[in-house]
Each structure stands twice: as C-alpha cells, then as structure tokens.
Structure 1
Amino acid sequence: MSAKANRVTEAYLADCAAPESGLRHALANLDVSDTKRAAWPRLLPRPVVVDEAEYRAFGRDLVTVFDLVTSLPRRLFDGDFERFRTSLGLDDVHTRLMCRLLGEGPPPLYGRADVYYDGEAFKLLEYNIGSALGGLDMVGTLPKAYLKVPAVAEFAAEHGLGFLDMGSDLAEALRNAGKTIGAGEPVVAILEGPGGMTTYGHQRRAIGELLAEQNVTCLVGEIGDLEFRDGKPYLDGTGIDVILRYYGLEEMLEAPDGVELLEPVFRAHEEGAVVVWTPTNVYSNKGTLAMLSEFSADTTVFTAEERAAIDRVLPWSRMLGRPGAGPDAGRIEECVRRQDQLVFKPTGSYGGKGVVIGQEVDAATWRDTLDAGSRTGSLVQEIVQPNLETVIDPQTGESAEWYALWAAFMTPSGLSGGGVRAIPPGGTTVITMINNPDVRNTCLFTC
C-alpha cells in the first residue's frame, strides 16, 4: 500500500492494541439488520484502508481491460465471433445460450475484478464480467454500518476516511436499464437458479435491501418462481422490468428443466418486456485474459496506451488448451519447468474450482493437472504474492497476518467500490468463500 494508507492502518492497529479499544470491538457493535447479519456470517474484525487515488487509477485500468476484452473478437478474429469462441473452447450449446441476449454490441460495464496487491501495485487475477457478483451487498453498506460506531466515526473524521458506494451506482445502472424498455421507476427482480435461494437467499435478500435503501422496488426469488402474462414476467404478482441475474449458465444446464426456464426469459428480453442485467458472461471466460497477455506486445493489435495498461495490471497468462484439443506438449514442458512460479486455472469455472497452485503440489500432480487441463480448457498464470493485512483478535489481542484478496466492483460509472477476502497463512492460498471456512470478508475505507 501507499505510505498514506499504511500510516492510517498503523494508527488503527495501534488503537486496537488497547483491550477496551472501541475500534478493536467495532465489529461486535455493528448495528445492522437481521438480513445483513445473516448475509455476513464470517467477517474480518476490521476494515481495510486503501489509498483512493491509487485505487481509482487501478479502476481506470480495469475499464480499459474491460473494453479490450470485449473487443477481442474484432481485434484478433476480424469480427468473427465463431473463431473467437472456438479459440476459447466454448461449445455450441454454451455459445448459443450465452449469446442469446447479447445483441450486436458488447455487454454493459459490470463485473468484479479479483485482485492481489503485490507490494507495489494491484494485479488482476480474474475478471468476473457478468451479473452474478458475490460480495456486492456489503460494498458501501458495511462501511456505513462501521461509521455508526462512535469510535470508528471519530477515527474516520480524524484521518479523512471515505468509501465508494456501490448501492447508488448499481441503482443508477438498473434504472437506466429499465429506461430502455420505457420503465420510469423499474421493478427489479433478483433471481437465483433452481434451489439457489436455499444456499444464497440471505445474500440475495441483502442486495434487495441495499437497493431498497436507494428507493428501488426490488423482489427476490428463483427463476422458476416467475409467471408470464402476455410475455411479461411477474414475481409474487408484480410485473418485473429488470432482472438482476444470479442464475449461472452451468447451473441452469445442470437443472432438469433449466433450459425450459430460460426460454421465456429470453423471449421477454428479446421482445422488450424485460431487461436481463447483464445479458451474458461469455467475456468472463478466463481465456480472454490469456489472450490479452499473449498479444500485449503486438503493436498491430493494441495501442501504446493499451499495452501499458495491460502490462501494469495483468500477470503473464497463457492458454494451455481447449476442449477437444490434444496436449500442448511445448507449453506443458514450459509449465513443468516453471512449476513454482505458476497457477493453473480451468477457463470456465468459478469460485476457485479446479485451481491448482504449482508451489502447493508435487511434480507428478502438477504434470497430470497440466496434461488434463490441456484437453478441457485451461490457462496458466504467473503467481502474484498477495499482501498481508495485520489483524488483531478482539478477544485475545493477539496479532496475525492474513493474506488479502481484493475485489474491485465495476459499473457503467466505473470503479464503484470494493472489498477484501482474507485468509490466515498456513494452508492453501486459494481464497474463496465457497469451500474454505477460514476465509473472512471485510470492507474498504479510502484515504
């Protein structure tokens, strides 16, 4: 972090060293709704501080990367989307469904960048381009709750702390989406896939509460709860103008009636009865970042400014293979030699599924992973060492260093806030809430 952010963090931690510190016990004194409390079961005992100027500069680079990713079919494949999707290893079924709502142009700027800070700069690991963004319910909302704690409010005023408000930016984006079909104040439905509310209902209701605080009428349910009248979707008897989509394509394909549930939503979107936000996650495929990295030095593809942005934020990344292709022997041997420097990722997965860090496995496992991945669609990426955040246990006062994975949320307004997922050293460094109970979330304050 910058010297400025480090000074503020050190001051916060110094205060937390006292047993009766209001900052040390701020998390226990948060005044939040039952909905939010249920959605945030695993929180780090303190917020994280970031230099706003540094963070916003990185956000501008993320806008550039988004524009570059969504322009790859034109830049690398002469506008031939078929060649683009083949290069990514997308099959016919996935492509047809992903692109059903895309239209002629790129999707709107909306996504979450997963990021490490390597001690000098933010580095982009993954760019989740699409609507199913975990964690946005606490961006802006959790800092507001912290600022209701007198000790935090006093500290924030003394050190000039602020925060970015995801709620207002998201509300504006959804209102603008509704205007495209003539909805003045749109009714928004946050929709999970079949059975999704059982697992993620607390988080989705927390997003609904966040939007309600922005005076957006919002309902929450599953895609199977929709009813259609003259082609328009209704939820709980109320007509829906905008769908904030939290059902993923993979889960819909796994559901027995998933494609049948999608079809009336597709038609309603195509006929202007509803807007699906956002229409596709085709550009979220991790292979797009590998393409950027591979061509980052090509002056015929990217301008000097674009190449500089790629170099600033993106670690070395390469496609290892795609479905139906044979092993890439040359690339595999390179990755075997560089095992301690690389991480393996399936291109189409999410939530850390299938990620293998070279340093954490033996040579035979690493080679087997590379060989299998070259047939199924994957990439390799240079490991970025995450920064450590010092955390003081509120009960014991003991200090520990936690690895931090940063999230930067993007809307059509640009950078709209962020958060941090953290894990104590000692185990895997794959930081995901899905399958690691040691991971904790927290919010960001800017300075």
Structure 2
Amino acid sequence: MSARSDRITEAYLAGCEAPDGPLRHARASLELSETKRLSWPRLLPRPIFVDEAEYRAFGRDLVTIYELVTGLPQRMYGGDFDRFRTALGIDDRHAALMCRLLGEGPPPLYGRADVYFDGSAFKLLEYNIGSALGGLDMVGTLPKAYLKVPSVAEFAAEHGLGFLDMGSDLAEALRGAGKTIGAGEPVVAILEGPGGMARYGHQRRAIAELLAENEIDCLVGEIGDLKFRHGKPHLHGTGVDVVLRYYGLEEMLEQPDCDELLEPVFRAHEAGQVVVWTPTNVFSNKGTLAMLSEFAELFTVDERAVIERVLPWCRMLGRPGAGPDTRRIEDCVARKDQLVFKPAGLYGGQGVVIGQEVDAATWRETLEAGSRAGSLVQEIVPPNVETVIDPETGERSEWYALWAAFMTPSGLSGGGIRAIPPGGTTVITMINNANVRNTCLFTC
C-alpha cells in the first residue's frame, strides 16, 4: 500500500486510541436502514483506505483481464465456443443454459474481482463475471453513511478522502440496458431463484434501496413470481424492463421445473421485451484465469505484462471425463504449501482447499478427485493485514483483508473488504464463516 494510505490509516487508528474518541465509535453512529442493517450484520469497526491512483491503475488492468477472458474463445479456439467450454469442463446441459443469451459478442463488463494485496501489488484471485454479485449493496452506501458521522466527515475533509460510487455507476448501466429495448427510465427487477428470498431477501432489498437512491424504479422477487403478458414479464403487477439476475444456474438446475421457469425469460430477452443483466456467467469459470496464466504466449507484450502483473500462477488440474494428470498432480504434491485448490465452476469458497491447511494425504486425495471433476490449482498469495481497534476494549488486532473490486461498463466502480482474524482457515467467505467482517473503502 502507498505511504499516503498507510499514514492515513495510522492517523485514523490514533483517533481510535482514546476510550471516548469519536472515531473509535463511528460504526455505532452509522445511520442505516433496517434493511441495510440486516444485510450487513457483521461490520469491521473501521473503513479501509486505499491510494486512488494505485487502485484505479489496478482497475484498468482488470478491464484488460476481462477483455482477455471474454476473448478466449476466439483467441484460443478460433471462435469455436463448444471447444472452449469443453476445455473448461462445462457439460452440454450447463452450456445450453449459460450460452442461450450470450449473443455474438462478449457480455457487458460487470463483475467483482476478489483480490489480495500482497504487500507490493494487488493480485487477482477470482473474477466473478456476471450479475449475482454479493456485497455491491455496501459499496458506495456505507461510505455515505460514514460521512454522515461528524468525526468521520471531519477526518475525511482533513485527509482528502473520497469513494467510488457503485450505486450511480450501476444505475447508469441498467439505464443503458433499458435503452436497448426502448425503455426511457427502466423498471428493474432483482430476481432470486425459488426460495432465495427466504435466505437472501434482506440483501436483495438492500440492493433495491441502493438503486432507489439513484432514482431507479426497482422491484424484488423470485423468478417464479413473474407473470407474462403477451410475452413481457411482470412482477407484482408491474412490467419489467431489466432483470438483475440473482438466480444461480446450479440452484435452477435443482428445480424440477427449471426449464419452465427459465424459458419465458429467455424468450422475452430474445424478443426485446426485457434485458437480462447479465445474460451469462460462463466467463466466471475459474479455469479461464488458468488459461491466461498457462498460455500467456498467445497474447501481446502489453497483455502479457498485465497478466504477469496481476495474476498469480495457476493451472487447470483436469476436467470431467479426463484421466488424472499424474505429472501435474505430483508437481502439486511437491508444492503443497504454496498452492490452493479450487473447483472451476463453484463459488462462495465451496470446495476450496488451502494446501498448507491440510495433511499430505488429504491434499493428494483432493488433487486426484479434482483432476476428474474440473478444477485448478493456484499459487497462494499472502494477504495483507489491517489493524483494527476494538471499540469496547481498545485492544488492537490484525485481520486478513480480502478486497472486492466491482466493475461496471464504466470500469472500476467501487470496492469493499471482507476480513477475518488470523488463526483459522484463510478461506474468506460470508457463506460459512461467522468470523468474517465487512467494511468499505475510502480513496485518498
């Protein structure tokens, strides 16, 4: 991190030292709606600071990585999408649904990059290219809430702090999507899968609040709540122009009526009666990053420089139907403490195994099983730590920080942090780790 951001961090921590220091208790002073409090139940006691020039430069690299990933079918397979998805281990059933709305060109730039700062540079761990992005409701909204706290507002003014406003960038992206079908001010529907609102409803409603703050008319529901009138989807009686898709492919495939739920939405998109944002998540497959890493010679000098700058070494371990790659498995066994194993098509930390956190037998079993199921190995990137002062006790503690960089068609649009205290697993996911805390970023 830059010397400037380090100085600002130390200044903020100094303001948290005194038991009655207003910065120390800023989190407790946040004015948040009940919806947002339910969406962000576990907040780190302070925001994180990042050098804006450094962060935006990394954002430009993320745009390049997106362009390279979405260009892989052409670059590596002569435009043969079937060969591309087969190399990633995507079967016919998944591919048919993933690619139904893909169209001729790449999907719009929209996603979340999960990133570590290794002490000298940002390193890309995963690139979630697609619409079902966790955490975006916090980006932009939480900094605004912090700036309403007088002590934080004074600190921000003194140190020239700002933030990237994901809400306004997303609103503009959705307006642009609506214009492609002639919608002036679009009605946006945030759609979960069947039963999804029971588990994630507070988070989806928080996104709706974010969009409403940016003057977007937004509805929330499940895909099964849609009614179709002359082919156009309606939710709660209102016609929908843009669908912000939060129904995941795997959860839809578990439904006996999967095709009956998806087909009317597909047809409405194809007929120009609604825009599904975004139409596919095929490029979120983690194997795409392994392809960039392994076949860097296919790219230009400038493109290779970006790959080498931001992407850790990673390789595909295998794909469904293929036999074990014995040589690669043995290499990974020898490098156990340097590698992390990831299933190529899962998300939310599912199936991730850190080599140094398991014994040798478990690591070998994981690699051998993964080589048949579509997976990759990636060089471990050591995360940076962020110091936090407990508002109640005044004790200092260090937390591993996983950065989230959110991207829209305008480029880098915001960021957030998920953090965890050292001592347990370093897989930082909100799904199954109660120790994880969230916070926002301020730029300096």
Q: TM-score, normalised by structure 2?
A: 1.00
Q: Does 1:236 align with 2:255?
A: no
Q: How far 1:270 moved relative to its partner?
A: 0.5
Could you tell me which amino acid in structure 1 is paired with residue 195 of structure 2? Answer: G
Q: State the distance in 2 between where 1:283 and 1:260 align.
A: 25
Secondary structure at the aligned position of 1:310 is classed as helix
Q: State the distance in 2 between where 1:42 and 1:256 align.
A: 35
Alignment of 1:320-399 (within 5 A): 320-399=317-396
Residues 65-117 of structure 1, C-alpha deviation per residue, up to 9 Å, x if partnerless?
Answer: 00000000111111111110110010000000000011111000000000000
Q: Which residue of 1 aligns with 2:86?
A: 86
% identity of equivalent residues: 82
Q: How far 1:150 moved relative to its partner?
A: 0.3
Q: State the distance in 1 between where 2:87 and 2:379 align.
A: 21
Q: State the distance in 2 between where 1:378 and 1:84 align.
A: 15
Q: State the distance in 2 between where 1:24 and 1:200 align.
A: 31
Greater mean alpha carbon deviation, residues 162-171 or residues 33-42: 33-42
Q: Does 1:12 align with 2:28?
A: no
Q: How far 1:260 moved relative to its partner?
A: 1.4
Residues 410-434 of structure 1, C-alpha deviation per residue, up to 9 Å, x if partnerless?
Answer: 0000000000000000000000000
Secondary structure at the aligned position of 1:344 is classed as strand
Q: Which residue of 1 aligns with 2:410?
A: 413
Could you tell me which amino acid in structure 1 is paired with residue 425 of structure 2? Answer: T
Could you tell me which amino acid in structure 2 is paired with residue 373 of structure 1? Answer: G
Deviant stretches of 4+, over 6 Å: none
Secondary structure at the aligned position of 2:114 is classed as strand
Q: How far 1:32 moved relative to its partner?
A: 1.2
- Count, aligned residues: 444
Q: Which residue of 1 aligns with 2:95?
A: 95
Alignment of 1:130-169 (within 5 A): 130-169=130-169
Aligned partner (choices 421, 427, 435) of residue 432 of structure 2 = 435
Greater mean alpha carbon deviation, residues 256-265 or residues 335-344: 256-265
Q: State the distance in 1 between where 2:386 and 2:30 align.
A: 21
Q: Does 1:173 align with 2:173?
A: yes
Q: State the distance in 2 between where 1:3 and 1:223 align.
A: 48
Could you tell me which amino acid in structure 2 is paired with residue 431 of structure 1? Answer: I
Q: State the distance in 2 between where 1:54 and 1:289 align.
A: 22
Q: State the distance in 2 between where 1:261 and 1:59 align.
A: 36
Q: Which residue of 1 aligns with 2:200?
A: 200
Q: State the distance in 2 between where 1:128 and 1:23 align.
A: 34
Q: State the distance in 1 between where 2:79 and 2:257 align.
A: 34
Could you tell me which amino acid in structure 1 is paired with residue 22 of structure 2? Answer: G
Q: How far 1:182 moved relative to its partner?
A: 0.5
Aligned partner (choices 399, 403, 409) of residue 402 of structure 1 = 399
Q: State the distance in 1 between where 2:127 and 2:337 align.
A: 24
Residues 27-69 of structure 1, C-alpha deviation per residue, up to 9 Å, x if partnerless?
Answer: 0010111111111101000000000000000000000000000
Q: Does 1:38 align with 2:38?
A: yes
Secondary structure at the aligned position of 1:441 is classed as strand
Could you tell me which amino acid in structure 2 is paired with residue 443 of structure 1? Answer: C
Structure 1: 5+ residue runs without aligned partners?
A: none
Q: State the distance in 1 between where 2:128 and 2:218 align.
A: 23
Secondary structure at the aligned position of 2:137 is classed as helix
Secondary structure at the aligned position of 1:320 is classed as strand
Structure 2: 5+ residue runs without aligned partners?
A: none
Q: State the distance in 2 between where 1:15 and 1:135 align.
A: 28
Q: How far 1:258 moved relative to its partner?
A: 2.0
Q: Which residue of 1 aligns with 2:259?
A: 259
Aligned-CA RMSD value: 0.5
Q: How far 1:295 moved relative to its partner?
A: 1.1
Secondary structure at the aligned position of 1:181 is classed as coil
Q: State the distance in 2 between where 1:326 and 1:10 align.
A: 53
Residues 354-413 of structure 1, C-alpha deviation per residue, up to 9 Å, x if partnerless?
Answer: 000000000000000000000000000000000000011000000000000000000000
Q: State the distance in 2 between where 1:46 and 1:324 align.
A: 48
Q: State the distance in 1 between where 2:24 and 2:254 align.
A: 45
Q: Which residue of 2 aligns with 1:73?
A: 73
Secondary structure at the aligned position of 1:375 is classed as coil
Q: State the distance in 2 between where 1:260 and 1:435 align.
A: 31
Q: How far 1:314 moved relative to its partner?
A: 0.1
Q: Which residue of 1 aligns with 2:222?
A: 222
Q: Does 1:211 align with 2:208?
A: no
Q: TM-score, normalised by structure 1?
A: 0.99
Secondary structure at the aligned position of 2:381 is classed as coil
Q: State the distance in 2 between where 1:348 and 1:247 align.
A: 15
Residues 113-154 of structure 1, C-alpha deviation per residue, up to 9 Å, x if partnerless?
Answer: 000000000000000000000000010000000000000000
Q: Which residue of 1 aligns with 2:315?
A: 318
Residues 301-321 of structure 1, C-alpha deviation per residue, up to 9 Å, x if partnerless?
Answer: 211110000000000000000
Q: Which residue of 2 aligns with 1:424?
A: 421
Could you tell me which amino acid in structure 1 is paired with residue 427 of structure 2? Answer: V
Q: State the distance in 1 between where 2:321 and 2:436 align.
A: 36
